[in-house]
Each structure stands twice: as structure tokens, then as C-alpha cells.
Amino acid sequence: MTRTGPDGARTTAEAPAARASRVILALACAAQFMVVLDVSVVNVALPSIQASLGFAATDLPWVAGAYTLAFAGFLLLGGRLADLYGTRRVLVAGLALFTVPSLIGGLATTPALLIAARAAQGVGAAVLAPATLTVLTTTFPEGPRRTRALAVWTAVSLAGGAAGNLVGGVLTQSLSWRWILLINVPIGAAALALTGRLPAARRRTGRAARLDLPGAATATAGLALLAYGIMQAGPRGWDDPVTAAALAAAALLLAAFALIETRLARDPLIPPRLFRIRAVSAGNAVMLLAGACFQVPMWYFLTLYMQDVLHYTALETGLGFLPHTLLTMIVGLRATPRLMRRVDDRALVIAGALVAAAGFLWQSRITADGGYLSAVLGPAVLMSVGGGLLNTPLTATVTSGVTERDAGAASGLMNTAKQVGGALGLAALTAAVADHAPTPPSLADAYGDAFLIMAVMLLAIAAASLALPPRRDPAAADTPR
């Protein structure tokens, strides 16, 4: 039992529980870092991969796309698995599904094998990512301890996206592109060793729950086809028959999924009762919009600007993202949790969106002859501070008010909103700026337009965040530790 002495200090009886909580947090963050890192780590390594394995130019995007496609498609299923079969069991399965394909991909000798390994990684990531959040929301009760845990998890997630370019550049230039995948093997093995410290799944009472296989099939196929159609819209165009057929099939499958979840399934992947929680429904709508700016598009267009316009090498591009990584960690780990103890979460989300919007507006003014300080570092400060202020309170909001039996479903829904938002945002932005000449001035103008659109979207996020519920008692998070 937790006790405190006269001076408010915790007694030694609490120490084992505190150590166990720290181990669980370390495990969740290590696993989440791998998942997010592998979204962007291949970007700067693509030329090396193409030369090494003899990829055709038309097939090369699938090195990144196979991972994203499988990840987005299986997220809802992955989130529900933890509710039905226990977080520890699902974490072990997800780590294995992610780590083994990383080893196979790192040793691949053909393009087909590498693409297959990346797709298998995506399936593992879809199982793993919701489980890392679920283990935190079921370990730490709502309040200051959960706020601190979510702040660390969110900061690691954001830093993983920024660090992917840095890690990819360093490993590719100093060792080999293969190490962008092989680096996951020791991390995954260490995380697997830590899973033994997780509590065993509690025995269910009442009737046994069943996996919603029709819902899983329609959701997975629908989201996979949606992601595929969006990816094809860039090179083929929105009116291409392949793109149109994929999107039409996705719409039909997702409509069928909604019918199954609301009318037919006994244990649905996404219980309709979740959407009656205002924090979940409104929060995931905001998360979808935030993903369309922060999840993929920001890193994608910044990478292109530094390499195509400023002519940075892979290593220089990776190092160029170092301020984003450091600022995100500092704001997310130090400033935001303290602010959340004094300021309403909704106000922080709105403030973060407005600060980030100013950063994206500044970033939209890039030119072909811009210097690093004014064209990258200056906007990075505002974008990273805004993202750091926004993401942790938003994550806390969308996971609040959810019972333990639905924690995995809520985590899967949040991750799905973020990933689908990133895919939709990237497709829409690339289509919006596709008409440009391949010259540095024209490219700078096109990428600037993309950042301007993202600035407008962040203003929309600030407005949409007014629909988020206020925290019941902002001062309650400032209780003694």
C-alpha cells in the first residue's frame, strides 16, 4: 500500500511499484520509438537502397509505402487485440512481429524481399503502437502520474519522427543503409526482455469476448485500400482508374465496417459507446487534422527542401533536424507537463496550434537562397514548441474517460486517426503543389505553398479544439506527488 511520511516523502514500501512503473514506461517508450522511427528513417536512405538492390524508380516508393500501408490498415485490429488477449501477450507478439522482419529486411538481397519485410514490419507496428499506449493508460490512473507518463511517451513519439531523418542519415553515411533496419534488432530484443516485468492479464469475468473478424476484415481492407488510393493519387492523379477504384472500394468497405460495428458485432473493434464520450469523438477529429500536419507532411517537405533546394547531403539533412528533436523533447518532457498542472488541456491544445501555425507560416516564406538559420532553425523553434504544447494534452484528452476494457480500442482509434490524417494530408499537399518546374526557385515556392496550407490547417485545428471538453478540474493535476 502506498504511504507517505510526515514530510510527504514516499516510503520504501512504494519503491517496488515505482520501479515497476518506470520499467513499464521505458518499455512502452522504447517500442513506440522504434515504430515512429521507422516511418521516416528510410527517407534519406532511399538512393543508397536503390543503388544497392537495383530498385526500379517506380518501385522505390514502396520501401516506405509498404510499411505505411500495413501500419494504417491493421491499426484498429491491433488496438482491439490488447483488450481481448491482454496487453503483455500482445506486446510480445507485436515486438516479435516488428523485430524479426527488421532483421530480414536488413539482410535482404532483392527488392521484393525488402518490400515484404517492410510490410511485415508495418503489421507488427500496428499491433505494437496501440499496445504501448494501452499499457500506460492501464498502469497509470488519470491524474498527474498519467500526465507525466503520457508526456514522456508523446515526446518520444514526436522525437522519433524527427530523429528518423537524423538516424537514417548517420547510419547510411557512416555504416550502411542496412543498419536503419538492423538497429531495431537489439532494441526489440531488449524490449522483449522487459515484457516479463509487465503484470499478467487479469482473468475476464462473464462471457468470453470474441474477436470481431468481419469488422477486422472490413476495417483492415478498407483502411489499406484508402491508404493505397491516397498513395496512388500522387503519381497517377485523383481521376486515374486505379486510384478511383481503390478509393471507391475503400468507401464501400468502411461503410460495411460501420454497419458491422453498430448493428451486427457482439464485441466490436470500436465499441459505439466510445463515440458517446465527447473527449474521444472530438479529440480524434482534432487528432486527424493534427496528423495531417505533424505526422508525415512536415518532415517530408522539410527533407525535400533541404536536399532538393539547399543541396544538403543525407547526413547534413539529418543533422538539420537536430533542433526539432531537442526542442520537442525539452518542451514535451519539461514544460508541457508542468503547464498541464495549471492550465486547462483544451487551452494548451489551442495555444500549441496557434504557435505552430506561426512557425508554419514562417516556414512558408522559404526561398532557394535561404540560409539554415532563417529558413530552417527559426521556424523549427515555433513548430517544435507548438507541437510539444499540443500533442500531450490532446493525447491525454482522447484517452480520458475510457474504461480499461476499451483502452486498447481507444488507443487503436487514436493511432488510426493520426496515421490516416498523415496519409490524407501528404496526398492532398503533394497534389496541391505538384505543378512546378524542377528548379530550386520553383521547388522552394511549391514547398512554401505546402507549409502555408499547413499553417491554415493549424488555425482550423485551433478552432476545432473549442469542441474539446474542458478538464473537470485543471488544478487537480497539481496534487502532491
What pLDDT, on the 0 to 100 scale, is given for residue 198? 67
Q: How far apart are CA 243 and CA 249, in angstroms?
A: 10
**Helix, strand, coil percent content, the chain, rounded in steps of 5:** 80, 0, 20
User: CB count, 10 Å around CB of 333?
Assistant: 18
| Average pLDDT along the chain | 81
pLDDT at 134 over 70: yes
- Report the C-alpha gap between 351 and 347 in whole angstroms: 6
Query: Is the confidence at residue 477, as pLDDT, over 50?
Result: no
What value does the mean pLDDT take over residues 218-244? 80
| Annotation: CATH topology of 19-197+267-478 | Growth Hormone; Chain: A; (1.20.1250)
Return the pLDDT at 475: 44
Residue 17, pLDDT score: 63
pLDDT at 204: 47
Q: How far is CA 285 from CA 291, 295, 386, 471, in A?
A: 10, 14, 18, 18
The position carrying cell 488555425 is 459
Find, among 127, 135, 104, the residue nearest to 35 by Cα: 127
pLDDT digits (tens, 9 = 90+) for 88-100: 788 888 899 999 9
Identify any residues that bridge with 10 across adjacent strands, giving them in sequence order.
Answer: 4
Give the model's pLDDT for residue 85.
Answer: 79
Residue that wins the pLDDT comparison between 56 and 198: 56
What's the one-letter identity of residue 130? P
Comparing CA positions, the residue from 224, 278, 248, 237 lying closest to residue 75 is 224
Contact 318, 165 (CB under 8 A): yes
Q: What phi and psi, each to the nearest 5 degrees, are found at residue 169?
A: -65, -45
Rounded to whole angstroms, the Cα distance separating 271 from 460 reads 28
Lowest mean pLDDT among 56-70, 258-272, 293-307: 56-70
Give every CB contact of residue 51 below 8 A, 6+ residues apart in sequence: none
The residue ranking higher by pLDDT, 408 or 261, is 261
d(CA 45, CA 317): 11
**Band of the pLDDT at 5, cuts 50, 70, 90?**
very low
Nearby residues of 254 by Cβ (< 8 Å), 6 or more positions away: 218, 219, 222, 223, 226
More confident residue, 335 or 17: 335
Quick one: average pLDDT of 450-456?
94
DSSP 8-state assignment for residue 200:
P
If you average pLDDT over residues 213-218, what whole number do you get? 85
pLDDT > 90? residue 154? no
Does 354 score more than 90 pLDDT? yes
pLDDT of residue 306: 87
CA dihedral of 369, 166, 337, 184, whole degrees rounded to 10? 160
Lowest mean pLDDT among 16-30, 198-212, 213-227, 305-319: 198-212
In sequence order, what E strands does 148-196 have? none
Model confidence pTM above 0.85: no
Of 153-157, 344-348, 445-449, 459-463, give the range with the top mean pLDDT.
459-463
Distance CA 155, CA 29 (A): 9
The rounded radius of gyration (Å) of the Cα atoms in the chain is 22
In whole angstroms, give the CA distance from residue 335 to residue 331.
Answer: 5
In this prediction, residue 1 carries a pLDDT of 44
Side chain identity at residue 226, one-letter code:
L
Residue 101 reports pLDDT greater than 90: yes
pLDDT at res. 248: 93
pLDDT at 58: 61
Confidence class for position 471, pLDDT limits 50, 70, 90: low
**Residue 210: enclosing H or E segment and its boundaries?**
none
Is the per-residue pLDDT at 208 higher than 60? no
CA neighbor of 83 nearest in space, from 212, 246, 263: 212
Give the CA distances from residue 45 to residues 67, 167, 172, 311, in Å, rounded to whole numbers and listed in that order: 15, 10, 6, 15
Q: How far apart are CA 147 and CA 394, in angstroms?
A: 11
Residue 6: is its pLDDT beyond 50?
Answer: no
Give residue limits of the domains in the chain. 19-197+267-478
- Name the pLDDT band for 200 (thresholds 50, 70, 90): low
Return the closest-CA partner of residue 339 out of 326, 325, 355.
355
164 pLDDT more than 70 = yes
pLDDT reported for residue 373: 87
